[in-house]
Each structure stands twice: as structure tokens, then as C-alpha cells.
Amino acid sequence: MRIAYAAAFLIGFVALLADHLTSPSSGRPVSPEDFAGACAPCGAPCPSSRAAK
């Protein structure tokens, strides 16, 4: 298990670094709740605004 775990950790960490180095990352960290109209932690809109559409 130790070798499999080490491999998973290494692959995950390299993927994380690759994503960070190839993606925009300026400004403070955000969550979907920071955006206008978000009604849940995932950024889903409120039922009232969906019904209005």
C-alpha cells in the first residue's frame, strides 16, 4: 500500500502544480458564493431567480 500511496500522492501533487502553473490565479481566492446570484456553496441560483427566467 505504501508504494501505491506514494505514487498517488506524487501524481496528485504534480497535477496540482501543473494546473497552477498553466491557469490564471490572480486576486484573492474565491468561492462560488462570492458571485452575484449565488444561493448555495456551489454557486447554484435561488429558486426565485430560476422561476423568474
Partner 1 sequence: MTAAVTEPAASARLPRLDWPFLIAALLALSLLVALVMIDGQPAAAALLVSGFALGVVFLKAEFSFTASWRRLIVRGQADGFLGGLLLIAIAATVIVPVAATVQGFGGTIAPIGPSLVIGAFVFGIGMQLANGCGSGTLYTVGGGSGRMLVTLALFIAGSVIGSLHLPAFLSLGGIDPVLASNHLGPWGGLAATLASIAAVAAAIVAYARKKGAAVWPARKIVIGAILIGLLCIAVFAAGRHPWSVTFGFTVWGAKLATLAGIDLTGAEFWQWPGPKRALGDSILSDTSSLTDIGMILGAMAAAAAAGPFARNAWPPLKSLLAAAVGGLLMGWGARIGFGCNIGAFVGGVASGSLHGWVWFLAVLPGCMIGIRLRPLFGLSRE
Query: What residues make contact with partner 1 under the rule CB under 8 A?
Result: 1-2, 4-6, 8-9, 13, 16-17, 19-20, 23-48, 50
Q: In angstroms, what is the minimal distance from the CB of 52 to partner 1?
A: 12
Instruction: Find how far residue 50's CA is from the centre of its chain.
Output: 23
| 38: three-class secondary structure by DSSP | strand
Q: In angstroms, what is the minimal distance from the CB of 5 to partner 1?
A: 4
**What are the residues whose beta carbons fall under 8 Å from the beta carbon of 43, sequence distance 6 or more?**
32, 33, 35
Q: In angstroms, what is the minimal distance from the CB of 4 to partner 1?
A: 6
